[in-house]
Structure 1
Amino acid sequence: MRRLRIAGRLIALIGWLLLCIPAYILSRLVTRRRIVPRIFLGGVARMMGVRIATTGELEPRAILLANHLSWLDIPIVAACTGSAFVGHDGIAQSKFLKWLAEMNDTVFIARTRRQTVTRQIEQVREALDNSHVLTLFPEGTTSDGKDLLPLKSSLLSAIDPAPEGVAVQPVFLDFGTAAQEIAWVGDEPGLDNFFKVLGRHGPLDITVHFLPPLTGESLAGRKTIAAATRRALERAMGQ
C-alpha cells in the first residue's frame, strides 16, 4: 500500500505541475503577481493529506520567521499565506529547483559572500512588492520538531532593517505528534525524506501559529531579531 500511495501521489504531483506551468505562463501575460505558484504549492499540501488550522493573525505585509522541519513547510506556509520564500544559494545549484523556486519570487541568500547583501535586500523588496509576504527559515536547516536549532542571524542580513511598513512576524509550525514522522534531519538524503512523506498514510494535521510581530528594540538589528524570534518560538513550543 505504501508503494501505491507513493506512485499515486507522484503521478498526481507531476500532473498538477504540468497543468500549472502553462497556467503560470499565461498569467504572467496579464499580471505581475505570481498567483499560480502559490496555488500549485497549496495543491501540493492537499495532495500530501495536509489539513491546516491557524491561530493568531497574519499581518497584511510581513516577513515571516518560521521554524523548519521538512520540505512540506513550504507548501504549507504558501497555502495559508500566499508567501514567497528566502532560500539558501545551495538550492540554486539544481537548475530545475532554481527554476521552480524563481517562479515564486524566491530570494537566494548567498551565505558565504557578504558583498551580495545589498542585492539581496533589493530582491527582498521586489518579492514583497509582488507577494506582500516573504518567509525565511532562520534555523538554516531542518530540525526534528522537538527542539529549536540555533537561529543564524547572518541569514537575516537581507531584512536588517526591515522595509518600512512591513512587519517581522515569528511563525510556529506545529506538527504535533507527526513531527518526527516527517522531519528531515541528520544524514537522511532529501529524496528519501521526499518519498517518506509521499508514502505516509492518513491526514496530516498541522497548526500554523501566527505570533505577535516583533516591535521596538527587538528590531534593532539582525542579532536582536534572531534572539527575539527564538524567545517567541520557544514560548510557543512550551520550552
Structure 2
Amino acid sequence: MSAGSGRRIPPWGWLLVAVRLVAMLVTLALHLALYYLLAPFTRHNPVPRWFLRAIGHVAGLEVRTQGSRPAPGTFILANHVSWLDIPALASTAGSAFVAHDGLARIAPLRWLCRLNRTVFIARHERRSVAAQVGQVRAALGDAGVLTIFPEGTTSDGTARLAFKSSLLSALEGLDDVPVQPVRLDYGRDTRAIAWVGEEPGLDNALRILARWRPIRLTVRFLPPLTPAERSDRKRMAAAAQAAIERAGA
C-alpha cells in the first residue's frame, strides 16, 4: 500500500486478496466464453451483467434493494462512492453505464466496457452533444437501462459532491426517457470503502478485497423525476441530488 492511503493490509489480508483475484480471473474467463457463445443468438446479451454480479459477490458485496426497479428505457442518476457501485447497479437494475471518454483510452478497460454497452461521452465538447444524444438513445435501446454518476467522481458518501449538470447534456431532448434517481447507501461501511482523496485506485481496490467482513449496500430506487424537474439539465441535476439526499435523511 502507498503511504498516501494511510491504511495497510495485514498479512492475512493479502491471502484473501490473492484468493479473490484468482476467483475474479476465473470468473472473467468463464463469462467471456459464455458471452461469445451466446452472442450470435441474442441482441441483449445478459452475460456482462452476470459477470458484474459475480465480481461483486467475490468482492464480498451483499446488496438489498428498496423501491421500484427501473423499467426498460430508464436513465438512472446515482451518487458515487466506490467501484462497487457498478456491479451493484448492473446486477439490480440491469444497467449499462455512461463514462467519460478518458476511460476509452485504456484499451483493456475500453474493451470490457464495450461488452456492457458503455457509452463514452466527451464532457467538455459541447459540439458533440447531438452525437451523444444519439449514442444515449441507441444504448438505451440496446442495454435497456443506463446509469450516470453526476458527481463526476467518487465521494466519501457522507457529503455528496454537487451534481454536474454538464454531464447531463446528453439527456436534453430525450423527454420520453424516464430519469430515476438512485441512492447507494453503504451504511456504516461507507467511509471504510469510499475511494476519496489521494488514495490510488489500486490501493483502494486491494484494501476492499482484503476485507473479511461483507460489505452491505442498500440500493434505493427513488421515484422518477417529474417533467417539471427535468425541464432543463440544471433543474434535473438539482432535483436528483435533492431526492438522493432526502432518501438518506
1:200 is paired with a residue whose SS is coil
What runs of 5+ residues in structure 2 fail to find an aligned partner? 1-11
In structure 2, relative to structure 1, the CA distance for the partners of 1:116 and 1:34 (3 Å cut) is farther
Residue 210 of structure 1 is matched in structure 2 by: 221
Is the CA contact (8 Å cut-off) linking 1:65 and 1:229 kept in structure 2? yes
Structure 2 residue 56 is matched with structure 1 residue 52: no
Residue 160 of structure 2 is matched in structure 1 by: 148
Residue 104 of structure 1 is matched in structure 2 by: 116
Residue 113 of structure 1 is matched in structure 2 by: 125
Could you tell me how far apart the structure 2 residues matched to 1:162 and 1:63 are?
A: 10
Could you tell me how far apart the structure 2 residues matched to 1:71 and 1:34 are?
A: 22
Tell me the TM-score normalized by structure 1: 0.96
Structure 2 residue 241 is matched with structure 1 residue 230: yes
Structure 2 residue 188 is matched with structure 1 residue 177: yes
Could you tell me how far apart the structure 1 residues matched to 2:132 and 2:175 are?
A: 13
Percent identical across equivalent pairs?
A: 49
Out of 2, 16, 22, which is 1:5 matched to?
16
Could you tell me how far apart the structure 1 residues matched to 2:104 and 2:191 are?
A: 27
Which range is displaced more, 63-72 or 123-132? 123-132
User: In the TM superposition, what is the alpha-carbon distance from 1:127 to its structure 2 partner?
Assistant: 1.3
Tell me the TM-score normalized by structure 2: 0.93
User: In the TM superposition, what is the alpha-carbon distance from 1:113 to its structure 2 partner?
Assistant: 1.5
Is the CA contact (8 Å cut-off) linking 1:51 and 1:203 kept in structure 2? yes
1:206 is paired with a residue whose SS is strand
Is the CA contact (8 Å cut-off) linking 1:125 and 1:163 kept in structure 2? no
User: In the TM superposition, what is the alpha-carbon distance from 1:7 to its structure 2 partner?
Assistant: 0.1
Calculate the aligned-residue CA RMSD, in Å. 1.0
1:26 is paired with a residue whose SS is helix
Deviations 1:172-224 (A, max 9, x none): 00000101111010111111111111111111111000011000210101111
Could you tell me how far apart the structure 1 residues matched to 2:127 and 2:143 are?
A: 26
User: In the TM superposition, what is the alpha-carbon distance from 1:163 to its structure 2 partner?
Assistant: 5.1
User: In the TM superposition, what is the alpha-carbon distance from 1:3 to its structure 2 partner?
Assistant: 0.5
Structure 2 residue 4 is matched with structure 1 residue 27: no
Moved over 3 A (4+): none
Out of 105, 121, 125, which is 1:93 matched to?
105
Deviations 1:36-59 (A, max 9, x none): 100000001111111111111023
